[in-house]
Amino acid sequence: MKGDFSRFNFDRKKLYNAVLMQQGRLQLDSDWNEQVRIAEHRYSSFFRDMVGRAGTPQNMAMELVGGTNLTLKKGAYYIDGLLIENEEPITLDVPDASENYLCYIDTWEREVTAAEDGDLIDPAIGLETTTRLKTEWVVRFQSGWETGRNFEKDKWRTILARTMARGGRARAQGR
């Protein structure tokens, strides 16, 4: 990460649901960051449980238009509990309409500092005091896929392993 953090001590196996401040104690970034991770874990777990590994509100999904274009509608998508927001409809050309493709949304979180967003500098002191996490996403196509029940799980596992290795999340839909 880009920020100056003392440590990250969130451990979901401990089953903590809050960090409580005590009066007269030193405040550490690690406590605040653990509370953020506790909340994010509960939030994403809730959406995974309620929506499933991937989902979208009704009438906001991807559509294959005319067999050659894929339209990603404006709206919210949830992938592995992570909220993805699409502000405007996006139309993508399917690379080769005569071939089968796996189309998936690759998602990840990245840190944003004041070097990218000057609004993170506190105007009263002229310094950056915090950073932000931002959800990024991209639609990807992978060629050479079978359709229906012959879905090639080994190929998907390879893509998923690459995505997860860099902290991303992905959900697939074959065409």
Q: How far is CA 175 from the centre of its chain?
A: 23
pLDDT average, residue stretch 49-63 = 72
Task: Judge if 62 and 34 occupy the same domain.
Answer: no
pLDDT at 62: 60
Query: Does the pLDDT of residue 82 top 50, yes or no?
Result: yes
Total domain count, the chain: 2
Find which of 27-31, 65-69, 142-146 is predicted with most confidence, using mean pLDDT. 27-31
Long-range residue pairs from 15-20, CB within 8 A, at least 24 positions apart, any chain: 17/42
29 phi, psi to nearest 5 deg: -60, -35
Output the CA angle 167-62-85, nearest 5 degrees: 50
Task: Judge if 40 and 107 occupy the same domain.
Answer: no
3 state SS of 65: strand
Pairwise CA distance, residues 163 & 174, whole Å: 17
pLDDT at 117: 93
Last residue of a domain, one of 51, 72, 91: 51
pLDDT at 162: 61
Lowest mean pLDDT among 33-42, 108-117, 146-155: 146-155
Task: Judge if 83 and 158 occupy the same domain.
Answer: yes
Q: What's the pLDDT band for 172 if we cut at 50, 70, 90?
A: very low
pLDDT at 148: 57
Host domain of residue 44: 1-51
- Closest residue by Cα to residue 78 from 159, 171, 160: 171
- Closest residue by Cα to residue 140 from 94, 97, 83, 77: 94
pLDDT at 106: 87
Pairing of strands 132-143, 101-112: antiparallel
pLDDT at 115: 93
Number of H helices, E strands in the chain: 2, 11
Task: Judge if 127 and 56 occupy the same domain.
Answer: yes
Lowest mean pLDDT among 37-46, 63-72, 124-133: 63-72
Instruction: Tell me how far CA of residue 51 lies from CA of 27, 38, 48, 95, 103, in angstroms.
Output: 36, 20, 5, 30, 20
pLDDT average, residue stretch 90-110 = 81
Task: Judge if 19 and 59 occupy the same domain.
Answer: no
